[in-house]
Chain A
């Protein structure tokens, strides 16, 4: 895992430095970086206390539908914990309220569109992550690539609908934030 993250760090660095003409090469680093980001969101998110059946139950990072990460996501998540909860990767074709996912990367597929996936977990404590590279439909966090860098947008209202709080620290890094009604940054 150390090697993976080391690779990710180096890749992110390179990605940040290289210019537009090298986009083909940049694309090769895009998903490993997104995988690393996915594995790091948990500490900056608060789930409602009812989200975990027990104190040491695993925190599931579900890849729903298309999987653009491959092994990179497994490497990134390996050994990650949030408190006493170990982080694990699960790959699902479709998601619903009972899938037991804490974080769901919804890439969409023929079996379930991104919009359907989002609708399926609305109101349940799931941090929904969507990707501009997959669909323009947005979850609570939405990956974009801007200036050859992987960035994200945050829809705090979407998170609020699922009973979640996203740390303001994370929000400050976001390209844009859609605040929940009455909320402020």
Chain B
């Protein structure tokens, strides 16, 4: 709204300034003319008064033709430098006395008083000489005017000043206008910039969302690649278990039965390890860094790697003894190694070897990086890369793969992970000679984070007491009930949390509650545990689940937790521990 007046003003200002300048000039000219007129009038008055005074004083000398006396009066006027010539004439116009400053002759005769005469730089005034009302003669005074040129010079000076003032006004006006225009331009630019900025902000947000989506899809892609192998593997495991059970029915040979049992157990263990890895891998939330031993961490990935790669690819692990611990996010590490391994696999279409090795690097120093590091290298025997690609492989979305086969985010995750862990990543490759990607991870001084103990195979500890088993799945309830009885407990089953609470209400004495977490009904496992804590704080509760999210929630609340699938030894140890120390989480 305020723009239009501003737009108008920057055009009007110079016009106003020029108008003011012209007005000033006109006023100056008028003032000059008026001044000229005043000057002439003043000069005329001065000369007339001089003439009258002279006429009055010298009248007697003129009347009585006393030349010397008249000359004395006239000479007195010589003190006035502006008076050029003076003449005293008697009543008949004859010259009695006079002088001319320049020595020029005075008119010898005049025809009495006449009108004043401006003649260039001279003013001639004639005044009658009066005495007691009678005219006795004439005084003629020729007065010097300031030369016209000098007066005009003076006016010129004033005109110059006025002109300069006008010019200044004009320049100021123009400058003001230019400034206003520039300001306006600046406002426009600022507005445009703000608009562009907000647009950019929106684009950045969209891009971040897209990147997040891509990262997730990259993970999903990796999972997808896993799925085929995992399903195949599971079928094999189930085949082993199923045929093993069939064969056990057909033989009574204890040795042969033991062999079949072992192979079934082995198959189940492998399946259990596989699902655990998958759950950890698919977890979206970023986990806290832990101080880990790289060797055992990567060792634990063997099954995952075997399933992710093809059968024609051999994976070799080679770790130095006494590797320093590193503080990293184990799941990110697994993902990084998996990404590198999948890249290596794709670089070896005809099979090959992937070697994962680690060694300590003391006193390493390169650029901003210095100190002790653990060097984790993944080498392949693939086709390698051209140097110009080597420099770009860590860029997000850079991919050498065909459309739809890769996201280009794999190695960028590796880069991000290594940098976030306080380390760096290097790549060495040449065409036809494979590639080696090396992660430099800083050494940690902290003690190793204690992980859930992998219970060793040992005889399960026998317990006793009444256990309230809360489990919605009949199959699981039946097997777990058998395991509890086998361990010496007296289990009572409840299908859901409500039923469990009712059983507790009947004042039946229980020594322990062992509850599934994800169940139908109003209360889930956590809700039930909280209720029991409220009603019977002394009663120990152990929760169990196969869901990673639910497991995280239970741990957060500080409950004892047994992750499915578990073995009878683990069940025995957890229940024993809960009975010994009801309020400490496992």
List the interface of chain A (C-beta within 8 A of B): 2, 5-6, 9, 12-13, 16, 33, 37, 40, 42-44, 81-83, 167, 169-170, 172-173
Contacts and interface: CB of A to CB of B under 8 A. Distances in A.
A173 B60 CA distance: 7
Given A9-B92, A44-B131, A44-B132, A173 B61 contact: yes
Contact of A82 (B60, B64, B91, B132): B132
Nearest to B69: A173
B90 interface: yes
Contacts, number: 53
B52 to A, nearest CB: 14
Report the interface size class on chain B.
Answer: 10 to 19
30 contacts: A2-B92, A5-B92, A9-B90, A9-B92, A12-B65, A13-B65, A33-B65, A37-B64, A40-B63, A40-B64, A42-B132, A43-B63, A43-B133, A43-B134, A43-B136, A44-B60, A44-B131, A44-B132, A81-B134, A83-B132, A167-B60, A167-B131, A169-B57, A169-B61, A169-B131, A170-B60, A170-B64, A172-B60, A173-B61, A173-B66
B494 interface: no
B94 A83 contact: no
A156 to B, nearest CB: 15
A37 to B, nearest CB: 6
Contacts of A33: 65
A13 B95 CA distance: 11
A5 B94 CA distance: 11
B116 interface: no
Given A9-B90, A9-B92, 7 more contacts: A2-B92, A44-B60, A44-B131, A83-B134, A167-B60, A167-B131, A170-B60
B68 to A, nearest CB: 9
B59 A169 contact: yes
Contacts of A167: 60, 131
Q: Which 5 A-B pairs have the closest CB atoms?
A: A169-B60, A43-B132, A43-B131, A12-B65, A40-B63
A184 to B, nearest CB: 17
B91 A5 contact: yes
A82 B65 contact: no
Interface of B: 57, 59-61, 63-67, 69, 90-92, 94, 131-134, 136
A16 B94 CA distance: 15
Contacts of B90: 9
Contacts of A44: 60, 63, 131-132
Nearest to B66: A173
Nearest to B72: A172
A43 B69 CA distance: 18
A175 B236 CA distance: 169
A105 to B, nearest CB: 16
Nearest to B61: A173
Nearest to A6: B92
Contacts of B60: 44, 167, 169-170, 172-173
A106 B112 CA distance: 35
Max count, chain A CB within 10 A of own CB: residue among B65, B131, B132, B134: B65
Nearest to A11: B65
Contacts of A172: 60-61, 69
B64 A173 contact: yes
A37 B59 CA distance: 13
B110 to A, nearest CB: 14
A82 B94 contact: no
A108 B379 CA distance: 169
Contacts of B134: 43, 81-83
B112 to A, nearest CB: 13
Nearest to A2: B92
Nearest to A152: B64
B134 to A, nearest CB: 5
A12 B62 CA distance: 12
Contacts of B136: 40, 43
A9 B133 contact: no
B552 to A, nearest CB: 136
A5 B92 CA distance: 8
A9 B131 contact: no
B132 A9 contact: no
A9 B64 contact: no
B98 to A, nearest CB: 15
Nearest to A80: B134
Nearest to A39: B63
A83 B69 contact: no
A172 B59 CA distance: 11
A6 B65 CA distance: 12
Contacts of B66: 173
Contacts of B132: 42-44, 82-83
A2 B69 CA distance: 24
A42 B132 CA distance: 9
A142 to B, nearest CB: 14
Contacts of B94: 9
Contacts of A9: 65, 90, 92, 94
A6 B66 CA distance: 16
A161 to B, nearest CB: 22
B408 to A, nearest CB: 128
Nearest to A12: B65
A82 B134 CA distance: 7
A18 B64 CA distance: 18
A172 B133 CA distance: 20
A167 B63 CA distance: 13
A132 to B, nearest CB: 16
Contacts of A81: 134
B19 to A, nearest CB: 62
B530 to A, nearest CB: 140
A14 to B, nearest CB: 11
A104 to B, nearest CB: 19
Contacts of A6: 92
A57 B208 CA distance: 130
Contacts of B61: 169, 172-173
B75 to A, nearest CB: 15
